């Protein structure tokens, strides 16, 4: 390291050489691309292909990101505002090239620079693989939140894990789902910056001992294993601002500390192999969403993430501060679900065992720093960690959690006396044959705020899931309805619509101020806008139709209604209800007189989504879609009247193609089961009409755009319990019974294979998700959609009104509310 005087000399040299910032005109970009072809990709400037051009362009864009990212860091460091740390084990970022180019505001220049070299931006963008470091809605929400944090100039960091294998690739063989590893880093990742010098030791196992410092006793944890966490930084640019924030992902590497011992045994080869094992901690994302299995590796991942992130956060705090009482004035720690909640115990450990604060002081700091958002609606979905597992991997943390719980329960006893039922429900430790730590209880007890992700979700938390806690601390409970970013979901994925909106609003300002979209309302009935609107939608449908044909071989007619359900496959999301209604439609057409068929509205039904590898029923639903599709698509009687296609390997970039090209999208969970739902918001922004149940955020969409502008059906939340009670006596409609029978009896083949699937809606267990109950009202809503589709003026008006009302569902609004009501942070805009 050099001493300061030579640093000053260096600065002089730098300033003399520096020719301002990198330039963004097309010639400068072209030169940058060619330089990267030659020196980064190491190909000849005179001969390179699409992939190499993608790499070179990405590096040129990355350089520009890094400049802004440095500036943002320096500026924020100087200002030292309170920062929010968004802690999430999952981020579903998708591709970065187009998004970065858009947010940097250099799209036109890039297009021009490339065209002279004989390349197209769109084609190069397709070269990029998806960064799929997450499962579904929760993970994509994290990605949208990062975009909004950057755009709104908030001093924020994201922390996550750099899995080597992201969410599995779904391959369909003979209609069955197979999972294949997604080694997304195979061809390098230009969007990350490896920070070899930013690394922290993370410890596991071992014992807890006592030490005496200045006559006082302290606990110390003597670990049995140490692994190194290395930082990989991913710059996240804001739109229309210089601010570029950081998403820091940790990768596990073997630690030298732990090597010394193992290498002394003389077994060199095994020592090397053991060393290698450390890397498994961050190697693979768990593909189950909404279910927790208490696996040791998963717990290791969680603590690895928590420990590295907190060491980094504390180091940054200590750079400028010495008094930990100031910690909550500078640091807001946002727990994205309970996955990072071990950080609560970790912060207590650091403050008490390492910084030697007394327990109450430390506890006060913890309570002011943490806020918790839960994404779960049903009690059974909450995460639990077996006490034995926790105690062996993290012995000191288990003690701390027991201590937190002891003090909490003592407090409860003072308030509620001997109401032992209540005490045992609220306790952080669940007693029973297997003792568990209830991570949600730990999070609620330790956080100043508990957020739900939609209005109704929050209501359910207060009245059911966390009722006891709400009665104790009503002031802790808030909600922040989820959102999506219009930068990716309109500007990036639907440039045609983006241009049209800007034209009719007379400004681009809606890209940062999304409330302006409301201005479209006044034009919704204007025939000129309607015509242009339909044209754009047609182009998008054509693009989607080409994709469908390329991937499935099925030719579809773009005059048909594109009816889409894309999301993770879950019983509660009721893809099965959709398939059964498609069978019903098919059956009706088959039984119609030829002349009547002219009145049928043609539909292209698209279903896509991944099933968790161990989720049998979900996998059967995928197979059912395939067998039904096979029959319908090859029935000469049906022709273009009905097509059914399964979209394989649904991910963020497939969504970018599907969403703008859909006419109708389905969000049909049983009321009370979808905490929020966010894909509906993307479809809404793109002027796709919704067919939906009154669940999650759909209730707020209805409130915003009016019940007349979407198709709502099904049991309401308050009706569900009594319908379930009466389920055994419920006589299912004959239409429902008939289609289920067709599946059971093998009309589409594989009858035996589908038996358990049919039993799940007809068997003794009852039809828990109420498919039979909702079937008729679902068919009615479908019929209403058909009827409206024929009236293209009315349809287009509803479509415009959908997009116009989507502003409330931007993460810009979500993040603004979090900043003000939960985190207490204000913008810090880099000049
Ligand atoms: C989820 C919810 O199921 C989903 O409704 C919600 O939109 C999303 C983001 O808040 O979180 N919870 C889990 S777990 N996965 C999700 O997608």
- How do 477-479 and 449-452 pair as beta strands? parallel
Q: Are strands 244-254 and 331-336 parallel, antiparallel or unpaired?
A: unpaired
Q: Rounded CA gap, 25 and 820, in Å?
A: 38
Give pLDDT, residue 258.
Answer: 56
User: d(Cα 684, Cα 798) in Å, to the nearest integer?
Assistant: 10
Q: Give per-residue pLDDT as tens, 786-830.
A: 999 999 999 999 999 999 999 999 999 999 999 999 999 999 999
Please name the residue ranges forming H helices in 417-466: 420-426, 439-446, 455-460
Cβ of residue 282 lying under 6 Å from some atom of ligand 1: no
Ligand 1 atom nearest to 137, measured from its CA: 17
Residue identifier of the C-alpha nearest atom 9 of ligand 1: 138
pLDDT at 763: 66
Task: Please work out whether the CB of residue 338 comes within 6 Å of at least one atom of ligand 1.
Answer: no
pLDDT of 55 > 60? The answer is yes
Ligand 1 centroid to residue 745 C-alpha, Å: 36
Architecture of the 80-95+130-481+819-823 domain: 3-Layer(aba) Sandwich (3.40)
Q: Give the Å distance between the CA of 696 and the centre of ligand 1.
A: 10
Residue in 135, 293, 335, 375 to alter for ligand 1 test, most ligand atoms within 8 A of Cβ: 375
Quote the ligand 1 centre to 633 CA distance (angstroms): 33
Task: Give mean pLDDT, residues 14-28.
Answer: 89
Going by C-alpha positions, the residue among 156, 330, 79 that lies closest to residue 819 is 156
Nearest CA to ligand 1 atom 15: 138
Judge if the beta carbon of residue 672 lies within 6 A of ligand 1.
no
User: Ligand 1 centre from 460 Cα, in Å?
Assistant: 15
Q: Indicate the top mutation candidate among 88, 90, 135, 136 to test ligand 1's pocket, ranked by most ligand atoms within 8 A of CB.
A: 136
Q: What is the pLDDT of residue 18?
A: 79
Rounded to the nearest integer, the mean pLDDT of the chain is 96
Strands, DSSP E only, in 387-470? 429-430, 436-438, 449-452
Using one digit for the tens of pLDDT, what is the confidence trace for 285-306? Answer: 999 988 888 899 999 999 999 9
Nearest alpha carbon to residue 762 among 748, 772, 753? 772
Task: Enter the tokens of residue 295.
Answer: 């696996």
Which numbered atom of ligand 1 lies nearest the CA of 453? 10
Residue closest to 668 by CA, chosen among 753, 746, 563: 563
Interval 572-610: pLDDT, tens: 999 999 999 999 999 999 999 989 999 999 999 999 999
> Residue 462 catalytic?
no
Per-residue pLDDT at 187 exceeds 60 = yes
83 classed as catalytic: no
Mean pLDDT across the stretch 501-514? 98
Is 514 strand, coil or helix? Answer: helix
Residue 744 falls in the annotated catalytic set: no
Q: 136: CA distance to ligand 1 center in Å?
A: 7
| Catalytic site residue from 36, 242, 375, 488 | 375
Residue nearest to atom 11 of ligand 1 (CA): 138
- CATH topology match: 80-95+130-481+819-823 vs 490-809: yes
pLDDT in tens, 719-738: 999 999 988 889 999 999 99
Q: Is residue 4 very low, low, confident or very high in pLDDT (cuts 50, 70, 90)?
A: low
* Ligand 1 closest atom vs CA 381: 14
Q: What is the pLDDT of residue 333?
A: 99
Residue 480 CA to ligand 1 center (angstroms) comes to: 13
Question: Does residue 398 register a pLDDT over 80?
Answer: yes
Token digits of residue 153? 């100039």
Are 743 and 751 contacting, i.e. CB atoms less than 8 angstroms apart?
Answer: yes
**Ligand 1 neighbour 289 (Cβ under 6 A):** yes
Nearest atom within ligand 1 for CA of residue 290: 14
- Binned at pLDDT 50, 70 and 90, residue 7 comes out as confident
Q: Which residues pair with 370 in a beta bridge?
A: 333
Assign domain 490-809 to a CATH class: alpha beta
For the stretch 199-228, pLDDT in tens is: 999 999 999 999 999 999 999 999 999 999
Nearest CA to ligand 1 atom 14: 290
- Whether 86 has a pLDDT exceeding 50, the answer reads yes
User: Nearest residue CA, atom 7 of ligand 1?
Assistant: 677
- Which residue owns the Cα nearest ligand 1 atom 17? 137
Q: Relative to the CA of 677, which ligand 1 atom is closest?
A: 7
d(CA 342, CA 305): 10
Tell me the two tokens of residue 371. Answer: 């806020």
Q: Are 582 and 607 in contact (CB under 8 A)?
A: no
Q: Which atom of ligand 1 is nearest to the CA of 376?
A: 12
**Which of 312-321, 362-371, 504-513, 719-728 is least confident?**
719-728
Q: Containing H/E element for 284?
A: none
Query: Which of 453, 669, 698 best tests ligand 1's pocket when mutated (most atoms within 8 Å of CB)?
Result: 453
What lies within 8 Å, CB to CB, of 425 at 6+ separation is: 468
Ligand 1 atom at shortest distance from the alpha carbon of 136: 17
pLDDT of residue 607: 99
What pLDDT is recorded for position 1?
47
Using a 6 Å cutoff on CB, does residue 460 contact ligand 1?
A: no
Distance 376 CA to ligand 1 centre (A): 7
Is pLDDT above 80 for 260?
no
Active site residue 318: no
First to last CA, the chain: 30
Count Cβ neighbours within 10 Å for each residue of 307-336 and write b for 16 or more, e otherwise: bbbbbbbbebbeeeeeebeebbebbbbbbb
Residues 672/717, Cβ–Cβ less than 8 Å: yes
For position 3, what pLDDT does the model report? 57
User: What's the CA-to-centroid distance between 758 and ligand 1, angstroms?
Assistant: 27
**Is any atom of ligand 1 closer than 6 Å to the C-beta of 660?**
no
Q: Helix 616-633 vs helix 575-590: angle between axes, to the nearest 10 degrees?
A: 20
452 CB less than 6 Å from ligand 1?
no
- Residue 453 in contact with ligand 1 by CB distance below 6 A: yes
Catalytic residue among 203, 462, 567, 626: 567
Q: Which is the catalytic residue, given 573, 585, 603, 667?
A: 573
pTM: 0.97
Please report the pLDDT score of residue 20 as a whole number. Answer: 81
698 lines ligand 1 (CB under 6 A): no
| C-alpha distance from residue 680 to each of 95, 156, 622, 652, 683 (Å) | 21, 27, 21, 14, 5
Chain-centre distance for alpha carbon 323: 36
Which of 682, 724, 808, 813 is labelled catalytic?
682
Strands 561-566 and 603-608: parallel
Q: Quick one: pLDDT at residue 322?
A: 97
Tally of CB atoms within 10 A around 546: 14
* 290 pocket-lining for ligand 1 (C-beta < 6 Å): yes
Helix or strand (DSSP H, E) at 252: strand 244-254
Q: What is the mean pLDDT of residues 106-116?
A: 98
- Indicate if 521 belongs to the active site: no
Distance CA 243, CA 650 (A): 31
> Looking at residues 454-460, what average pLDDT do you find?
98
Domain boundaries of the chain, sorted by first residue: 80-95+130-481+819-823, 490-809
How far is Cα 544 from Cα 548, in angstroms, rounded to an integer? 6
696 lines ligand 1 (CB under 6 A): yes
**Which residue of the set 68, 162, 368, 568 is catalytic?**
568
Residue 573 appears among annotated catalytic residues: yes
Q: What is the pLDDT of residue 324?
A: 98
Backbone angles phi, psi at 223, to 5 degrees: -75, 160
């Amino acid at each position: 390291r050099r001493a300061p005087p030579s640093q000053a000399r260096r600065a002089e040299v730098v300033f003399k050489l520096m020719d301002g910032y990198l330039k963004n005109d097309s010639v400068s970009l072209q030169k940058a691309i060619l330089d990267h072809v030659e020196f980064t990709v190491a190909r000849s400037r005179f001969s390179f292909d699409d992939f190499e051009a993608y790499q070179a362009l990405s590096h040129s864009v990355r350089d520009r990101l890094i400049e802004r990212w440095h500036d943002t860091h320096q500026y924020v460091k100087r200002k030292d505002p309170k920062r929010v740390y968004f802690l999430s084990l999952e981020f579903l970022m998708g591709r970065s090239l187009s998004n970065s180019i858009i947010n940097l505001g250099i799209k036109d220049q890039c297009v021009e620079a490339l065209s002279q070299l004989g390349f197209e931006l769109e084609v190069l963008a397709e070269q990029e693989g998806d960064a799929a470091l997450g499962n579904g809605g929760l993970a994509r929400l994290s990605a949208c939140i990062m975009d909004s944090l950057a755009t709104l100039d908030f001093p924020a960091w994201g922390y996550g894990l750099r899995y080597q294998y992201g969410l599995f690739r779904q391959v369909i063989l003979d209609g069955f789902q197979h999972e294949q590893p997604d080694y997304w880093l195979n061809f390098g990742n230009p969007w990350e910056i490896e920070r070899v010098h930013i690394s922290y030791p993370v410890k596991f196992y071992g014992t807890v001992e006592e030490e005496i410092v200045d006559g006082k006793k302290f606990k110390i944890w003597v670990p049995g294993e140490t692994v190194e966490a290395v930082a990989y930084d991913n710059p996240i640019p804001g739109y229309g601002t210089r601010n570029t924030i950081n998403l820091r992902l940790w990768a596990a590497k073997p630690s030298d500390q732990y090597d010394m011992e193992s290498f002394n045994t003389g077994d060199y080869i095994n020592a090397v192999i053991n060393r290698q094992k450390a890397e498994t901690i961050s190697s693979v994302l768990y593909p189950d969403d909404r279910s927790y299995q208490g696996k040791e590796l998963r717990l290791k991942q969680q603590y690895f993430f928590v420990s590295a992130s907190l060491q980094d956060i504390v180091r940054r705090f200590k750079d400028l501060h010495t008094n930990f009482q100031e910690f909550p004035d500078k640091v807001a720690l946002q727990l994205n679900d309970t996955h990072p909640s071990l950080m609560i115990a970790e912060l207590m450990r650091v403050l008490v065992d390492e910084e030697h604060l007394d327990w109450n002081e430390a506890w006060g700091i913890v309570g002011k720093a943490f806020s918790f958002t839960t994404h779960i609606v049903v009690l059974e979905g909450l995460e639990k960690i077996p006490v034995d597992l926790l105690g062996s991997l993290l012995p000191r943390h288990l003690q701390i959690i027991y201590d937190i719980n002891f003090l909490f329960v003592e407090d409860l006893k003072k308030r509620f006396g001997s109401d032992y039922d209540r005490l045992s429900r609220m306790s952080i430790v669940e007693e029973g044959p297997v003792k568990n730590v209830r991570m949600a209880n730990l999070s609620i007890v330790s956080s100043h705020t508990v957020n739900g992700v939609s209005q109704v979700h929050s209501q359910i938390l207060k009245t059911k899931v966390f009722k006891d806690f709400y009665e104790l601390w009503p002031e802790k409970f808030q909600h922040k309805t989820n959102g999506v970013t219009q930068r990716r979901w309109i500007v990036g994925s639907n440039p045609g619509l983006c241009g049209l909106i800007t034209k009719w609003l007379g400004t681009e300002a809606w890209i940062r101020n999304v409330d302006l979209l409301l201005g479209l309302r006044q034009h919704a009935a204007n025939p000129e806008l309607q015509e242009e609107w339909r044209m754009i939608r047609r182009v998008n449908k054509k693009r989607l139709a080409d994709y469908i044909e390329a991937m499935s071989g099925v030719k579809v007619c773009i005059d048909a209604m594109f009816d889409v359900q894309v999301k993770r496959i879950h019983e509660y999301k009721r893809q099965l209800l959709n398939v059964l209604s498609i069978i019903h439609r098919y059956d009706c057409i088959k039984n119609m007189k030829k002349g009547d068929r002219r009145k049928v509205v043609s539909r292209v039904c698209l279903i896509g989504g991944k099933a968790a590898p161990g989720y049998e029923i979900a996998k059967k639903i995928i197979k059912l879609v395939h067998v039904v599709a096979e029959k319908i698509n090859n029935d000469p009687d049906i022709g273009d009247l009905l097509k059914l296609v399964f979209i394989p390997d649904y991910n963020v970039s497939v969504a970018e193609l599907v969403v703008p090209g859909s006419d109708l999208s389905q969000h049909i969970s049983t009321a009370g089961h979808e905490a929020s739902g966010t894909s509906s918001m993307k479809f809404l922004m793109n002027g796709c009409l919704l067919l939906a149940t009154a669940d999650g955020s759909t209730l707020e969409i209805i409130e915003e755009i009016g019940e007349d502008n979407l198709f709502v059906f099904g049991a309401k939340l308050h009706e569900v319990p009594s319908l379930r009670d009466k389920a055994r006596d419920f006589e299912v409609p004959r239409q429902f019974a008939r289609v289920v029978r067709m599946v059971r009896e093998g009309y589409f083949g594989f009858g035996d294979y589908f038996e358990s699937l049919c039993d799940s809606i007809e068997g003794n267990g009852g039809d828990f998700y109420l498919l039979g109950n909702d079937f008729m009202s679902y068919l009615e809503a479908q019929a209403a959609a058909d009827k409206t589709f024929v009236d293209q003026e009315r349809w287009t008006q509803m479509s415009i009104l959908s997009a116009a009302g989507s502003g409330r569902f931007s993460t810009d609004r979500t993040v603004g509310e979090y900043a003000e009501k939960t985190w207490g942070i204000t913008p810090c805009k880099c000049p």
